[in-house]
Every structure is written in structure tokens, then in C-alpha cells.
Amino acid sequence: MSAFNCPEGWVLVEIESVLAAQSDGKFVHQGWSPQCDRESAAENEWGVLKTTAIQDGFYLDYENKRLPKDKEPKHRIEVKKGDLLITNAGPRNRCGVICYVKNTRSKLMLSGKMYRLRFPEEVICPEYIESWLRTSLIQKELDDRKTGISESGLNMTQARFLTLPIMLAPLAEQKVIADDLDTLLAKVETTKARLDRIPNILKNFRQSVLAAAVSGKLTEEWRERNNPINVTFNHINDVKQALIKSKVIKKDLDVVKSESAIGSPNDWLNLKLKSIASKITDGEHKTPKREDTGRYLLSARNVQDGYISTSNVDFVGEGEFQKLRKRCDPNKGDILISCSGSVGRVCLVDEDDKYVMVRSAALVKFMDEFIQGKYLMYYLQSPVSQKDIEESSKSTAQANLFLGPIKDLTVALPSLSEQTEIVRRVEELFAFADTIEQKTNAALERVNNLTQSILAKAFRGELTAEWRAANPDLITGDNSAEALLEKIKAERDAIKKQTKKKTQVKKAKV
């Protein structure tokens, strides 16, 4: 414990020396883990806390499981206001989590994966102890006391926990520190909560941009100024029929008007996706032979909104790759759609001759004389198209989007010049949102570090330096930290004598 530098007048002790004896004389209570009902206990029912009731610095009493009626509750381990709880088992990040119980409903018991601590409140402020245990310095000490054979299943014994160092200030200073931290950390949490809301606001903003883009509202003024010439149904149909007749494309990719009402301008064409596609297919239906390395084999999980993710990708050998590309050949600028699990994610292919796919992803090759790739991607990502996709994938218990419904998806088609303007404006607004998101993430990182910075200042004595100078009588003599320890020791000795005397009386009666 020599690494700990106490402010003047503070003392460094092991946590065992400042604990109060509980109802049975023990300094630490560990809970009980009976087989419980899955439901939470009602207010008038007994329940057992789940470890998720204990969060870093706060307590959630609704995180519990109902005790079956055929089991008797153990009143000794009922959680009370003023208890300090700490998890003693679980994954590394969930073992050693601490919270002070400011309030709780009744009839909730500790589980076997948590300890309950109590302190003599006339000499120890439990909120002060909670804050000390949350510091990065002590979190490292706690981490060193965890044992287990895997990161997902660690535990911390009472014997190891009871040696934890505590930097003890005089009682009056403990209370000042606890009050100051309560105020400062509440401000941090308020700031963090506001920042945490921004990503969702930006998500909604991006969706609003896409909704405005595909409804024509984003370019309404531009359209009035430029009066673009829109492509006609007959022109697209003539081009398509010629390609079908010459067998360049399949006849099922004919031009069909869409009956979906999507609120686009009257001079835009509402067509089914197949109308402006030269190929719509999915990946390999049979199980390809996978390799440890090689060429990329994409599935639905690799199709993310706006990009292809290769962080968790499969591979095939060169021979298998060439065989699979005969049927499904994604190239730069083509559209990919995820068709299984989280259906409806859409992106553009970034390179030629780089990928093959399995059937959980679909490929759309489009006719670029009628539609731009980025416009089509943004259209398919828009709320109106995502709703269309969602409805089309509800035919099975697990969400799956099949080729037929993909071909029938609605696409609203403005002129190529307006598509270019739509893409420009969408990307401009998205770049603005990205900048805000980056600044938000940077601010969140600073705020997350701020809690530990404030805690560190508190336990270096910096928050109370002026208070100590103004109140020397509250930190010296009978009010000193050393005097507190003597009081605790005296109380413990008195309890031991009383216990010994009661034992002797009982023996004498026998």
C-alpha cells in the first residue's frame, strides 16, 4: 500500500478495519442464489437481486427475480437503505462493480454473486467509501484480486476483498467530499445523458434527410429553377424490350409501373426496381467450400449501410471464387442488399472482381443511363423504402427478403440531373451530421474521463484543501482520522466483551 499518497491527516487502512458488524456479527454478508422465477417480484413479493441491480455508482431495485412461494425468504440478507453492494462474480467488467443503496423497495435479498457492506455511520460516511472504491486506483486493486480460469467467469473471495486499501479522511471531511462529489458527478451525468441522446437525434436527422430526398422536397426549389427533363416510361420500356429481345437481360426484368403511393412529385416515375435493373440475383445457394484465407465470401452480416464490412468475413479459394462468380458477379458500383436476419441494409460495391456471395445477400445491377448508384442506394435506405422492405420480408417467422419482393420494390425516378443534385445535397447534409457525431464522440470521451479525474482530485485532497484550512478543529484531535479508527476499534472490543460475557452466562446456566 506504499503506492498510496495520503493527504495530510488521512490514514491508509484495510477495508476490514472500518466495517461494521452486521446482525450475525459478520463484517461481510454474501447472498443466496436459489432457483427463482424468471419474472420480477411484485412490491409485496420477495425477490433476489440480479447482479445487474448493481451498476457503477447506482442501484436498480427492479433488476430482480421473484422468489418461488415454496421457499422461505432469508430476512438476514434483505437489502436495506444505506447498504454498500459489490458484485463478487461474473465477467471481468462485471466483477467488482460497486453501488451505494440510497433507497430500495422492501423484500429484496442479496444473491450469492454479491457482498453487502455496512459501516459505523457515526465515524464512516458510506457514500465516501463508495466513491473511493470507484476510483481507477482502487478498480485496479480490485482487478488484481479477481481469480478464475476465464475472463467470463471470475470471482473475488472475501479474504482477498477484505485486504483492499482505504484512504480514510476525518468524518467531517468525508461528508464534504461526498457532498461535493454528489454535486459534481451529477453534473457530469447530466452532460453525458445529453450527449448520449445526440447519436439518436443524428440518426433521425439522416432518416429525415433521406425522406425529404426521395419525396422531392429536398430539391423542390432546384426543380422549379431548372425544370429538368424527366425520362419517360415509354423510353425506358423501349430500351428494356430491345435488351430482352436480344437476350441481354432476362424477360422477368420488364418495365412495370408501381402502384405504391410514396408521395413523390407527379413528374417522377414510380417504377418497380426490376424496371431499371439489368440483373437481380442472390448469392450461392449451396454451401461453398470455405478456406482460412483467400477471396472474400460475403453474407448478410458483411452488408452494412453504406459499406461492405470485412471484419468478420469468410474466404474461398480461387477456383471456388471463379465458379461462384459465374452466377453472381458483384462489381464496383453495383448494389448489395442484406436479405436475412437484419434485412434491408444497402451498400455499393467498392471494387471490381473482389467478392462473391451466399444467398443471404442480393445483388442489383442497374441501368446507369436511367439511375445513379448512389441515388438508388439512398432511395433503398430511405424510410419509405425500408418500410416496403420490412413488409416484404414478413412472410416467414425469421425475416427473409426474397428475390421476387426485391424486384417489386418501388423506386421513384427523377431525371439524372436531379438525382445528381439529390446525391450532392444528401452527402452535404450527411457530412454535417458526421462532423457533429465526431465532435460528440470526442466530447463523450472527455466526459467519461471526467468522472475519474474528479474522483482523483477528491482523494488527493484537492476538493477540500480550502475547507481543511478553514476548519482545522474538524480534522484534528478527537475528529482526526486516527481517532476514528480508535473509536471503531473500541466499539469492536466492546462487542467482543459483550459476546464473551453472554457466552459465559449461557455456559453457567447449563
Q: What letters, b where the CB count within 10 A reaches 16 and e where it falls short, cover 118-133?
A: bbbeebbbbbbbbbbb
Please name the helix (run of DSSP H) or strand (run of DSSP E) that holds residue 312, with its range, or none.
Answer: none
Q: How many of the other CB atoms lie within 10 Å of CB of 231?
A: 19
pLDDT classification of 312: cutoffs 50, 70, 90: very high
How far apart are the C-alpha atoms of 361 and 281, rounded to whole Å? 9
How far apart are the C-alpha atoms of 40 and 312, rounded to whole Å? 37
Q: What is the pLDDT of residue 500?
A: 60
Please give the DSSP secondary-structure letter assigned to residue 466: H
How far apart are the C-alpha atoms of 27 and 84, rounded to whole Å? 12
Contacts of 248 (CB under 8 A, 6+ apart): 278
C-alpha cell recorded at residue 68: 418461488
Cβ atoms of 65 and 36 closer than 8 Å? yes
Domain 230-414 part of CATH 3.30.70.870: no
C-alpha cell recorded at residue 160: 482477498
Is the pLDDT assigned to residue 63 strictly greater than 90? Answer: yes
Angle in degrees, 0-180, between the axes of helices 171-215 and 373-381, rounded to the nearest 10 = 120
pLDDT average, residue stretch 212-238: 93
**356-394: per-residue pLDDT in tens?**
999 999 999 999 999 999 999 999 999 999 999 999 887
C-alpha cell recorded at residue 346: 444497402
Q: Among all chains, which residue has been given the C-alpha cell 433507497?
A: 103
Question: DSSP of 228-274, one letter per residue?
Answer: PPPPPHHHHHHHHHHHHHTTSS-GGG---B--------TTSEEEEGG
In three-state form (DSSP H/G/I as H, E/B as E, the rest C), the secondary structure along 73-105 is CCHHHECCCCCEEEECEECHHHCCCEEECCCCC
Strands 11-14 and 165-168: antiparallel
Q: Which of 494, 491, 489, 492 is nearest to 11 (CA)?
A: 489
Q: What is the pLDDT of residue 506?
A: 57
Is the pLDDT assigned to residue 263 strictly greater than 80? Answer: no
Q: What is the pLDDT of residue 266?
A: 83
What are the residues facing 476 on neighbouring strands? none
Please give the DSSP secondary-structure letter assigned to residue 205: H
Q: Which of 353, 318, 356, 358 is nearest to 338 (CA)?
A: 358
C-alpha cell recorded at residue 284: 450461392
pLDDT classification of 397: cutoffs 50, 70, 90: low
Q: Which of 122, 19, 21 is nearest to 494 (CA)?
A: 21
C-alpha cell recorded at residue 73: 425468504
Cα 92–98–100 angle (5° rounding)?
165
pLDDT classification of 24: cutoffs 50, 70, 90: confident
Least confident of 118-122, 176-180, 279-283: 118-122
Is the pLDDT assigned to residue 301 strictly greater than 60? Answer: yes
Please name the helix (run of DSSP H) or strand (run of DSSP E) that holds residue 372, with its range, or none.
Answer: none
C-alpha cell recorded at residue 231: 425520362
Question: DSSP of 337-364, one letter per residue?
Answer: EE-BSSTT-EEE--STT-EEEBTTEEEE
Q: How many of the other CB atoms lie within 10 Å of CB of 449?
A: 11
Q: Is 111 exposed, middle or buried (0-12, 13-18, 19+ CB in 10 A)?
A: buried
Please name the helix (run of DSSP H) or strand (run of DSSP E) that holds residue 117, with its range, or none.
Answer: strand 114-117
Query: Of residues 9 and 66, which shows the higher confidence score?
Result: 66
φ, ψ for residue 101, nearest 5 deg: -85, 100
What are the residues facing 355 on neighbouring strands? 296
Least confident of 48-62, 454-468, 495-509: 495-509
How far apart are the C-alpha atoms of 21 and 399, rounded to whole Å? 57
Q: Which of 400, 414, 396, 320 is nearest to 359 (CA)?
A: 400
Q: Is 216 exposed, middle or buried (0-12, 13-18, 19+ CB in 10 A)?
A: buried
Q: How many DSSP H helices and E strands does the chain contain?
A: 13, 25
pLDDT classification of 25: cutoffs 50, 70, 90: confident
Q: What is the pLDDT of residue 503?
A: 56
Cβ atoms of 275 and 236 closer than 8 Å? yes
pLDDT classification of 449: cutoffs 50, 70, 90: very high
pLDDT average, residue stretch 299-308: 96
Q: Which CATH superfamily is domain 11-167 in?
A: DNA methylase specificity domains (3.90.220.20)
pLDDT average, residue stretch 183-187: 96
Q: How many of the other CB atoms lie within 10 Å of CB of 12?
A: 14
Question: DSSP of 408-441, one letter per residue?
Answer: T-EEEE--HHHHHHHHHHHHHHHHHHHHHHHHHH
Pinpoint the residues of the chain covered by CATH 3.90.220.20: 11-167, 230-414
Is the pLDDT assigned to residue 186 strictly greater than 60? Answer: yes
